[in-house]
Structure 1
Amino acid sequence: MSDAYEVPIRDESIRLGQFLKLANLIESGAEAKEVIADGLVSVNGEAEFRRGRQLHVGDIVEIAGASARVTRDE
């Protein structure tokens, strides 16, 4: 696993599907739906199957060997 890169968000939380797009880990919402349904996305080391999962600062999302950490946009 590579080191997670930081992706700042404006609000207190963000939905997983939105974060995947923001972090440029996927191309579209449709792709987010597919990769999440297929169990290819993990949050904090556990497979996540809910596109609407709320992520908060400090959460780490992994897909296909890439990792992104939710950080606060100051």
Structure 2
Amino acid sequence: MHLYKVKSMMGKRQYIVSIPEEQYLELSSIAKSLGKTPEEIVTELVGYYIKTRTPPTHPPGYAYSDYGE
């Protein structure tokens, strides 16, 4: 199985995500139809995952974080 490495920027950090060939080809066709690159799609998907799957870092009742974010 061949893995494609996709570089993705999130904030000031760069991540490299390995994607199996079949999923990469599908991702590429979706990105092309949206006028984006596969890297942009990966960044959006990772951002969406982080926003929906990780707990908030601020205490309940506060609209922002005091923990250096």
The structure with the largest alpha-carbon Rg is 2
| Structure with the higher fraction of residues in strand conformation | 1
- TM over 0.5: same fold? no
TM-score with structure 2 length normalisation?
A: 0.26
TM-score with structure 1 length normalisation?
A: 0.25
| Structure with the higher fraction of residues in helix conformation | 2
| Relative contact order, higher structure (CA 8 A, sep 6+) | 1
